[in-house]
Amino acid sequence: MLSIVWIILLSSTLCHGLDNGLAKTPPMGWLSWERFRCNTDCINDPDNCISEQLFQTMTDIVVADGYASVGYEYINVDDCWLEKHRSHDGKLVADRKRFPNGIKALSDYIHSRGLKFGIYEDYGNYTCAGYPGIIGYEEKDALQFAEWNVDYVKLDGCYALPFDMDRGYSTFGRLLNITGKSMVYSCSWPVYQIYAGIQPNYSAIQTHCNLWRNYDDIQDSWASVENIIDYYGNNQDLIAPNAGPGHWNDPDMLIIGNFGLSYEQAKTQFAIWSILAAPLLMSVDLRTIRPQFKHILQNRKIIAVDQDPLGIQGRRIYKHKGIEIWSRPIGPLYQNFYSYAIAFVNRRTDGTPSDISVTLKELGLINYSGYRVEDLYENVDYGVLYPNTKIKVKVNPSGVVMLKGEVQFPVDL
């Protein structure tokens, strides 16, 4: 009888998308994967293995050290949390040694601290690390996530057929929806199809997913960040129009504070991710992060750009000899004039800062009442500047200068 009711409920939603009312701005939080990977050795490395202790610790730090107060709200478990086999009745089971109190207890712990709980699974026979996937158990797993009070589901795509993903990912999104528990739905649908030479149907993807990956996993290196920046710039005409409130492109995690980025490069990643209206999912050991990197991650003004409610993804508007300019329309608006966030990026590595000079008009800021211009990293207010005003910025190698131009209203208004 329950199966019949489930089929009726699913059939009644076939003409609808996800429509869960979530992720109206890009999700923000902490995610284990890039920093802690699939470390399951809790005997020799108890402080860094994938375990309930690790996630409870990060939860406490997110609250105590000010991350939650600037918007980071999700604590997301990634791969390697499972036992290698399901229970006798087909349910997912957390590793009994590393999660001795079970997933519901971890979920309750995170919620008790005022945060939200995210979990990982895979649309395949196995997860990428070889743990049980959802194929054949879609209904059961959706209900189990709801019972665990999960707020965010990341569904990977290992050990799955890319040409099945249009149907499979959309179906699982509906199954999550009809549980009655609202869950942000993060898909890996496009990236696996791109790898297989299939052109993703972004119209369907943005209908069924709150966010999605469309390029390689980020690694702990500047080269990896640069590759992602290039991909989003080179393919922006295809990618950018699909982003908006409730549905976002996901260039992958923030690696700020780990081992692979300098201070300047970390500033660049944070700036470009905010221009891209990207999810801000930290993957760093918050116990040992250095103050300068913590300061980047908690920059309220740049977070406000990322979280701008208009939800327009920015674009690269200039690229020449290692110098790039990225621009994003944001609020407030006056008539048909936007405010803008502008990132000047120096991709050169020749050891000396580069000067970039440009008028506001050349950047597309053409409101004759002007724009109040502010440096979002240096907290310098340049006052009201006008379209013909030339601005000059000095950008460090592999670094960024990020400005905000807030549109001004005519004085007689």
Q: List residues with catalytic annotation.
A: 156, 217
Contacts 24+ apart (CB under 8 A), 303-306: 303/28, 303/70, 303/71, 303/274, 305/274, 305/275, 305/330, 305/341, 305/376, 305/404, 306/25, 306/26, 306/28, 306/273, 306/274, 306/277, 306/278, 306/280
The dihedral formed by the CA atoms of 50, 56, 62 and 64, expressed in degrees to the nearest 10: -140
- Tallying the residues shown for the chain, one arrives at 413
Whether residue 332 has a cis bond before it, omega within 30° of 0: yes
CA distance 255 to 364: 31
Residue 108: how many other CB atoms lie within 10 Å: 14
DSSP, collapsed to helix, strand or coil, labels residue 49 as coil
Cα 214 to Cα 249: distance, rounded to the nearest angstrom: 7
Reduce the DSSP state of residue 6 to 3 states and report it: helix
Q: What is the DSSP string of 245-305?
A: TTBEEE---B-TTSSS--HHHHHHHHHHHHHTT--EEE-S-TTT--HHHHHHHT-HHHHHH
Q: How many Å apart are CA 181 and CA 152, to the nearest integer? A: 10
Q: How far apart are CA 25 and CA 277, in angstroms?
A: 8
